[in-house]
């Protein structure tokens, strides 16, 4: 019987991605899975390759999950969320103003200038702008396109939006909840210098997207990931780098807000084609 195998794609949004997946590769191979990974410079090509069958699994952003799902469905197939990090569940994004801002309620943002992350950032652009649109609040947007194609994994655009807010260049800025705390702690935003005027509903972040959940390799991959223990000193540093304490089952119930934002903004077509006008990953 051949050794179960998985070839996974990961997007190299940061040099640490190599450290993480080389480390995981050694750990997984030591437990009977012939695992390897390929690195992509952006998510769109990774999704193309997953759906085309060139890789077995894709460590996907939520936006990449949506497109993989749409592409696969349009082609008569399907993809599945195998696992996700415990930290991928129930995130929110916030819209932040300076403490002395006249904006107190979300409606007060109407007609004002709002800074966002990159065009393809679910958490700092698509979902919060979708949230404002759903509330009937029309705003002007100043986008900070850093790391386009990385779906917001590169935090640069989000941080630049926060800097623009602190500098008084914009009226509000969008960011993930944890990053608001981090930006204050690291000094990007002044302590007690900002107020949160809107918070989105809870949504989910990345998942390990696979084509054939029942194959030996993918089933073993899922079992091994879920079996990684934070008490294991070999994988703990890698889990710390990847920002999780445990792998959990994948779920797809947390992507509705992003799907609505994608449809409303015309980012992807229903069949998964990239239709965003000014998006060049």
What phi and psi values does residue 45 have, to the nearest 5 degrees?
-70, -35
Q: Closer to other proteins by CB, 103 or 176: give it.
A: 176
Residues 6+ apart with CB under 8 A from 146: 117, 118, 154, 156, 157, 160
Q: Closer to other proteins by CB, 134 or 246: give it.
A: 246
Q: Closer to other proteins by CB, 99 or 110: give it.
A: 99
Residues 72-111 as x/- pattern, contact with other proteins by CB under 8 A:
--------------xx-xxxx-x-----------------
Task: Compute and round to an integer the Cα radius of gyration of the chain.
Answer: 19
- 8 A C-beta contact, residue 127 and residue 156: no
Helix axes 62-74, 43-51, angle to 10 degrees: 30
| # binding residues, other proteins (CB under 8 A) | 29
How far is CA 247 from each of CA 26, 197, 261, rounded to the nearest angstrom?
17, 33, 27
Number of residues written out for the chain: 281
Contact call for residue 125 and other proteins (CB under 8 A):
no
- 8 A C-beta contact, residue 141 and residue 117: no
CB of 254 to other proteins, least distance (A): 13
Q: Closer to other proteins by CB, 199 or 252: give it.
A: 199
Among the candidate windows 32-40, 155-163, 228-236, 262-270, which touches other proteins by CB under 8 A?
228-236
Among the candidate windows 67-75, 127-135, 163-171, 224-232, which touches other proteins by CB under 8 A?
224-232
Q: Closer to other proteins by CB, 41 or 245: give it.
A: 245
Q: Closer to other proteins by CB, 56 or 204: give it.
A: 204
Q: Closer to other proteins by CB, 3 or 185: give it.
A: 185
* Footprint on residues 167-206 left by other proteins (CB under 8 A): 176-178, 180-181, 184-185, 191-192, 195-196, 199
Residues near other proteins (CB under 8 A): 86-87, 89-92, 94, 176-178, 180-181, 184-185, 191-192, 195-196, 199, 229-231, 233-234, 236-237, 243, 245-246
């Amino acid at each position: 019987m051949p050794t179960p195998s998985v070839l996974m794609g990961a997007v190299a949004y940061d040099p640490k991605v190599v450290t993480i997946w080389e480390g995981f590769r050694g750990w997984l191979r030591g437990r009977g899975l012939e695992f390897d990974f390929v690195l992509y410079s952006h998510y769109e090509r990774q999704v193309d390759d997953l759906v085309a069958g060139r890789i077995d699994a894709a460590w996907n952003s939520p936006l990449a999950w949506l497109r993989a799902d749409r592409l696969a469905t349009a082609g008569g197939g399907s993809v599945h969320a195998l696992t996700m990090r415990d930290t991928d569940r129930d995130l929110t994004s916030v819209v932040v103003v300076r403490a002395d801002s006249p904006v107190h309620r979300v409606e007060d943002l109407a007609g004002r200038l709002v800074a966002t992350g990159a065009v393809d950032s679910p958490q700092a652009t698509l979902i919060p702008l979708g949230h404002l649109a759903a509330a009937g609040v029309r705003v002007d947007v100043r986008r900070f396109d850093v790391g386009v194609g990385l779906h917001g994994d590169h935090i640069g655009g989000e941080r630049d939006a926060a800097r623009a807010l602190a500098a008084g260049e914009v009226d509000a800025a969008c960011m993930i909840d944890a990053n608001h705390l981090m930006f204050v702690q690291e000094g990007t935003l002044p302590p007690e210098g900002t107020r949160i005027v809107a918070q989105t509903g809870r949504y989910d972040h990345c998942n390990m997207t696979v084509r054939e959940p029942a194959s030996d390799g993918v089933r073993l991959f899922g079992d091994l990931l879920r079996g990684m223990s934070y008490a294991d000193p070999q994988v703990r540093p890698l889990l710390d780098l990847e920002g999780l304490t445990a792998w959990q089952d994948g779920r797809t119930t947390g992507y509705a807000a992003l799907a609505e934002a994608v449809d409303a903004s015309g980012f992807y077509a229903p069949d998964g084609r990239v239709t965003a006008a000014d998006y060049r990953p």
